[in-house]
Amino acid sequence: MRVTRRKLITSASAGFAAAALSPRLAWATSEVSLGAMRITTLRDGSITQPADFMYDPMDQDALAQWLAVRGMARDAALNPDCNVTLLRHEGRTILFDAGSGSGFTATAGDLPDALAAAGVDPGEITHVVFTHGHADHLWGVLDDFEEPFFPNAEHLMGRTEFDFWYDPTTVDTISADRQGMAVGAKRRLDVMADRFTLFEDGEEILPGIAARATHGHTPGHMSFEVRDGGESVMVVGDAILNHHLSFDHPDWPLGADADRTMAAATRAALMDQLASDQMLMIGFHLPDGGLGRVERAGGAFRFVPA
């Protein structure tokens, strides 16, 4: 296994007209060779998470102590990166998640530029595999003209997750601050439904890629174990949401999770597995391209970039 880091600056010379349009940089932040597999993380930009969106359900006294140790302010918003994973293997060009597209937030939606910088045209993508249906993972499936952005790709999502967002009653059963997510997901799935293949936990959805249920952040959130021989990487999506609080206190409830109790149990179990196996992981919102390892740190964990 070989890990490299590089920055590919977007410019007109990248070969696609869209590459010259974004005022932000798009780059491939990390790359790992896994047997015959080539895995690259691509930055889709970043999102802003208001402090209460993450911290509100926690014990506020314990939170204040943790923030003081970390030198973080209680009311400071979090601004995590968004890392889309690109896998090239045996003639397949696979994306894990589709990014935000242009309809979610002005600070994200850079995946088209990042793909251009990596020399990949959207028409070359053969499969798009989704961890879950939140806007920063799903909304990039359509372009600005409501056409499929990856026109030749098969799209794959866990059945439970797809059914949740495709259900027209979901918008009436979730909290008000997430209803926009439900409306946006339903609209995109209505357009794309016939392009989706659904799967269950434990299935090998493509050669060398196995689905692992990591429910809680959303009802059907999935991670994916990517393996070639004795080497493997786990693409964890939002099952591990950030590089500090999630590792220091995986058992604390996070406001961003739909089922906070389940998500905390999932997070702790996943970190325990990753630390025990010393398996590389890619987190959608983790720094340094999201690629790293989980190490034990006393009774908790820490993220170590690869």
pTM comes to: 0.93
Q: What is the CATH number of the domain that holds 143?
A: 3.60.15.10
- Domains held by the chain: number: 1
Element (H, E) at 156: strand 154-158
| DSSP codes of every residue in 81-141 | EEEEEEEEETTEEEEES---TTSS-TTB--HHHHHHHTT--GGG--EEE-S--SHHHHGGG
**What value does the CA radius of gyration of the chain take, rounded to a whole number of Å?**
18
- pLDDT for position 54: 96
Q: Are strands 154-158 and 196-199 parallel, antiparallel or unpaired?
A: parallel
- 122-155 pLDDT, tens digit each: 999 999 999 999 999 999 999 999 999 999 999 9
Per-residue pLDDT for the chain (306 aa), expressed as one digit of tens each? 777 766 655 543 344 444 344 445 556 677 899 999 999 999 999 999 999 999 999 999 999 999 999 999 999 999 999 999 999 999 999 999 999 999 999 999 999 999 998 999 999 999 999 999 999 999 999 999 999 999 999 999 999 999 999 999 999 999 998 999 999 999 999 999 999 999 999 999 999 999 999 999 999 999 999 999 889 999 999 999 999 999 999 999 999 999 999 999 999 999 999 999 999 999 999 998 999 999 999 999 999 998
**Residue labelled with tokens 């952040």:** 217
Residue 246, φ and ψ in degrees, nearest 5: -60, -30
Q: List the domain range (segments joined by +) for residue 94.
A: 2-305
